[in-house]
Structure 1
Amino acid sequence: MRKYCKAYHLEDLRRYPRWQEHPVDTNTSALTDETIVYLWDDFTVVESPVLQQGNLFDTVTPEWKTFCTETLNFAIPEDLQYAYQVE
């Protein structure tokens, strides 16, 4: 279950060498580098954190995870780590 996401400009994620967006079927305008998108804790990317739409990017590989953590500095904040503890 997804618990945490962080907003990024699409241009930041597009720096990933193997970035390939899935076609987005929405009534919104085309995605630009300035579009805000959301990176989830499962390393998938969506346009909206609340609307149930398809993933913009879901090719989760070790290289993608490394890019997210090292280049984008993506991490679950310490004050939310409790939500990931197994009981």
Structure 2
Amino acid sequence: MGLWQEDGWPTSSIGDKLQQVGGTLTGVIDRIKERGLVRRERDTRIWRIWRIWLTDSGIQQSGKDNAQSQSDWRRSKSDWRRSKSSNV
């Protein structure tokens, strides 16, 4: 799964695919957004849904930094699981 394969995913679908909860996923998306690689927009039909779109820079980077992006997602997922287990 990747935005470089199909753009405009709802954040909920991204979270489901990555087995992430909203707060953790929001932080990751915020950091990627700060790098100028994605933009977040409300769905035009259902205002509660946010969709994630690659920017032009994100499209260019998806070819070069695909491995790094996947590594960032995996690291975030690992951090989330660690924090979840320590809160139990």
TM-score (norm 1): 0.34
